[in-house]
Amino acid sequence: MLNNPSKTGVGIVSISKSGELALAMASFLPNVKATAWINGNIANVLFPLHYKDIVFPPLPVSAEGIIVKDSGILDIRDALLDCMEEENRASVIPIERASCNFLFIVSEDDRNWNSVYYAEQASKILKAHGKTNYEVVTYPKAGHFLEIPYMPHYPSGIHAAVGQAVAFGGEPKAHAVAQVDTWKRLLEFFKKHL
């Protein structure tokens, strides 16, 4: 028997590309009760996302937003066009439909994409729809992959979708501290809402 039947449901942890998938699940599936989004996007990227008769087109990419560092590593943080521009709004996941709680975890030195901007936009969307079911946590010097504590920090690596070395950002110590704090926050978040 459950201690508190009102807290039953599914929780989702997402990072990077899985962020928009988690937001889509939270927006359309009623059993999702808690969604943790780590350095993700609020718009669909790379390929069309289908749900029943709805199709979210991928957010367009602009080569002009790519910076090649002296090392040859690409900084792709600003490669995606602005999802909030009218011509790109069809790519944005309708998170205002969701009834779950959100935890947006953001690294300010994410060089994979502009996670700070996407979290800000998610907050604005939810607030504009009268929602208070979200929290945003930021880490100033952390990079893109905030994984479980004590995983090695890697400031760059081969990006599967790009096929080249890209910058992920972050300073090793700050990134490690952020991973430990993120893990604690995730456990507290899911314990509270599930």
Report the pLDDT value the prediction gives residue 6, as an integer from 0 to 100. 60
Query: What phi and psi, each to the nearest 5 degrees, are found at residue 78?
Result: -110, 25
Report the pLDDT value the prediction gives residue 8, as an integer from 0 to 100. 76
Stretch (H or E) spanning 33: strand 32-38
Per-residue DSSP letter, 42:
S
Is 144 noted as a catalytic residue in this protein? yes
Per-residue pLDDT of the chain (194 residues; tens, 9 = 90+): 345 556 679 999 999 999 999 999 999 999 999 999 999 999 999 999 999 999 999 999 999 999 999 999 999 999 999 999 999 999 999 999 999 999 999 999 999 999 999 999 999 999 999 999 999 999 999 999 999 999 999 999 999 888 999 999 999 999 999 999 999 999 999 999 99
Is 16 noted as a catalytic residue in this protein? yes
> Is the CATH number of domain 10-193 3.40.630.30?
no
**CA of 190: how far to CAs of 18, 32, 144, 183, 194, in Å?**
18, 12, 22, 11, 5
**Which residue out of 14, 107, 144, 175 is catalytically annotated?**
144
Where are the chain's structural domains?
10-193
Is 110 noted as a catalytic residue in this protein? yes
pTM of the predicted protein model: 0.93
**Which residue out of 14, 16, 91, 115 is catalytically annotated?**
16
Q: Nearest-CA neighbor of 107 among 189, 18, 175? A: 175
**Which residue out of 14, 27, 75, 110 is catalytically annotated?**
110
Q: Give the integer Cα–Cα distance in Å for 12 and 95.
A: 14
